[in-house]
Homo-oligomer: A and B are copies of this chain.
Amino acid sequence: MADPVYIQIVEDIKKKVNNAELRPGDTVPPENALCKEYGVSRMTVRKGLAILASEGYIYSVPGKGSYVQKPEVNKYTLHYDEMNNPINSVDNARLLEVTIIMPDEKLADELRITRNKHVILIRRVFYTDGVPVAYDVKYLLYSKGMPIVEKEIEQATFQEMVSNGLPNFALKKKLSISAQIPNEETKRYLNIYDEHALLVVEQKLYNNENKPIGIGITSYRGDYIKLQASSD
């Protein structure tokens, strides 16, 4: 019980929200009322409310008051690492190809470039215990500092290819996850002979100006990957 006062305030209000004592849309008591209730100054109350707001419990409207927020029921946190997932890890990668290509219309469009710009194409197969578990294709816009040594490319994640070891808070990434039946080429690379499902993860990377800088498509054998996400 050595918690600072503002934590007390946070937890009291959370509790009230969680037993429906306060419902979405209800007003939270005004700051001055909470000051009196807890016998503290306004800055202390505001610190508590700021935390509740940052955690999505409440929101404030200047001149009016603070209100209980509707919980975001559909939001999850997903941890995705190309080379590691909860049921399996890639322990080796083989570089099939790294070449400079001219993009076709679809690719140029996705990368928002003209068709006369050069794009780096990288194709790899990922292995676990010698078994091919994923086929990986990446299209990258070239920029300075990128790895040019094939051995580096071979074992690098998408993030590592473009950020080159530098910290990068600015890099934005989008994932698109789907299930597909492998085409003949993919079947060949993954030694698939019978019916099989692929978990396909498409990654798109954007720089801090929101311009696409790379697209990656990783097709995992369905029995070798499981993605996990959780609320909170």
Give chain A's interface residues, CB within 8 Å of chain B. Answer: 14, 17-18, 20, 23-24, 43, 50, 54, 57, 68, 70-71, 73-81, 159, 166-181, 195-200, 208, 220, 222, 225-232
Contacts and interface: CB of A to CB of B under 8 A. Distances in A.
Contacts of A177: 177, 199, 226-229
Contacts of A50: 50
15 contacts: A71-B167, A76-B173, A76-B175, A78-B175, A172-B231, A173-B231, A174-B229, A177-B177, A179-B179, A179-B180, A179-B198, A179-B220, A179-B222, A180-B197, A181-B222
Say how many copies of this protein the assembly contains. 2
A27 B49 CA distance: 28
A180 B14 CA distance: 40
Contacts of A175: 76, 78, 227-230
The 7 closest A-B pairs by CB, nearest first: A179-B222, A197-B197, A179-B199, A179-B179, A179-B197, A177-B227, A175-B229
